[in-house]
A and B are shown apart, each in its own frame.
Chain A
Amino acid sequence: MASIALANLKGGCGKSTLALNIAAGLAQRGKVALIDVDPQGALAHWADWAATDISNLRVLSGLGKLHDAKTSFDHVVVDCPPSVDWNLTGKVLEAVEMVLLPVIPSPLDLWATSDAASAIDKARRSNPALKAWLVQNQAEERSALSGAMARVLGQQQLPLLNTAVGRRAAYRLALLEGKSVYQMGARGRIAVSEIESILKEVLVK
């Protein structure tokens, strides 16, 4: 059983896209509830609109579903809101085993990590076993800024996953096709290897 939240105080860092694909990765291993707690409801909307049917994966909406899902599914993935007050996200972090904080290679995202670290400290008062990692998202291999960001992120208080998720069309195309990257065939091959690499890191740590 893994319960993973995707959270960040800052919007636009790719939480929902990563949440979907991590949930799809876990769905290769068992029954998964992907819970959309973000009031914007992007994933819930996506599931309705695309009438998606990914084997072993069910998209639910609202914080209230979290408690029951933990007992009736093998794995739970929660997409948190980009909340400054951290109220809703705080409640999620009290109930999950681990949290991933996606960071895109931009100074704005780097600056938001300090507040995120404080928020994780706060969450650990009620959930001391909470594991937390920063994960580079939309990284660009040949970009000097991406490289510098990775090195600086590696020196922050929160640990950084070794896996960096690249900026790839496959992630966005999959959404448009009502799929995860796991259903994209050869087009999603590299993206799948990135998600699998994340899962290997967090499920053994």
Chain B
Amino acid sequence: MSKMEEKLKASIKPRQPARTKPQPKRSSPGKVVVNDADLNAPDIPLHPRRIWPD
């Protein structure tokens, strides 16, 4: 093999890999749905210990 041939062979760019199908976009997290029951639930005060631990 001549030097010119070697140089030509070495210069060939690698083949591009076959394109794969684009992956479907991941769905973004949906909106937080608040149940009516939650909205109507009585407020439960935090236990004082949770705020002022012993």
Q: Is the CB of A121 within 8 A of B8?
A: no
Q: Are A111 and B11 in contact (CB under 8 A)?
A: yes
Q: In this assembly, does B43 line the interface, its C-beta being within 8 Å of a C-beta of chain A? A: no
Specify which of A118, A152, A155, A157 is in contact with B16 (CB 8 Å cutoff).
A118
Say yes or no: A121 contacts B12, CB within 8 Å.
no
The residue that A151 contacts in the complex, of B5, B12, B13, with Cβ under 8 A, is B5
Q: Are A149 and B8 in contact (CB under 8 A)?
A: yes
Within 134-169 of A, Cβ neighbours of B (below 8 Å) are at 144-145, 148-149, 151-152, 155, 157
- On chain A, which size bracket covers the interface? 10 to 19
The B contact surface, by secondary structure, is loop
Q: Is the CB of B15 within 8 A of A148?
A: no
Render B1-43 as a binary contact track against A, CB cut-off 8 A, 1 for contact.
1101100110111111010000000000000000000000000
- B5: chain A residues at CB < 8 Å are 148, 151-152
Q: B residues near A, CB below 8 A?
A: 1-2, 4-5, 8-9, 11-16, 18
